[in-house]
């Protein structure tokens, strides 16, 4: 597994970031994310748009059977942020591959830090992924949240999107 590292700072404007196999903002397919992402203004939409891959909205990219971990920092102090994870029902394994809106991808752990102190944040996890935290477990790998999630301000709209009634619900925050 490779590691994507670096710094992303968004201070204003409109940013639309769509990942096909990776995160909207974060690592690409097959890579863990150890990045510092700061959003202090503007309107940011970050999402995994593929119906058959599972990157986080902000965080780890898709990686089958473990991987897609997020160990960096996301700091949101202002602006409007929308982060939508990807995911789908696995036809061959009778399971699910879901990601966090902010955090890990399917099978991805969240060991990083998410700090929200302002702004308007919408985060949606999918198919067992948390809105903020870890992705769903994949082949008994990942899906754990041992990182820090600190919310001291802002307006939050957190959602879990699990269209199948037989799917165990994930935590909205955590993993």
> At 65, is the pLDDT very low, low, confident or very high (cuts 50, 70, 90)?
low
Taking residues 42-52, report their average pLDDT.
87
Output 160 or 147, whichever has higher pLDDT.
147
Which residues partner with 95 through β-bridges?
90
Please indicate whether residue 101 or residue 21 has the higher confidence score (pLDDT): 101
d(CA 41, CA 76): 9
Q: Which residue has the higher pLDDT, 12 or 95?
A: 12
Distance CA 134, CA 153 (A): 22
pLDDT at 149 exceeding the cut of 60: yes
Rounded to 5 degrees, what are φ and ψ at 76? -120, 115
Q: What pLDDT sits at residue 165? A: 56
pTM equals 0.91
């Amino acid at each position: 597994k490779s590691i994507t590292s670096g710094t992303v700072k968004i201070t204003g404007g409109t940013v639309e970031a769509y990942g096909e196999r990776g995160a909207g903002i974060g690592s690409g397919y097959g890579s863990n994310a150890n990045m510092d992402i700061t959003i202090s203004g503007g309107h940011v939409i970050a999402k995994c748009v593929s119906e058959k891959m599972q990157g986080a909205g902000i965080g780890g990219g898709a990686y089958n059977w473990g991987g897609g971990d997020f160990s960096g920092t996301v700091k949101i102090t202002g602006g409007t942020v929308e982060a939508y994870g990807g995911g789908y029902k696995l036809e061959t394994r009778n399971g699910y591959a879901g990601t966090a809106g902010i955090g890990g991808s399917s099978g991805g752990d969240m060991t990083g830090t998410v700090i929200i102190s302002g702004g308007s944040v919408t985060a949606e996890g999918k198919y067992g992924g948390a809105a903020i935290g870890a992705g769903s477990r994949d082949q008994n790998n990942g899906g754990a949240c041992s990182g820090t999630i600190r919310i001291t301000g802002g307006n939050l709209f957190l959602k879990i999107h699990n269209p199948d009634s037989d799917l165990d619900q994930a935590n909205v925050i955590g993993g």
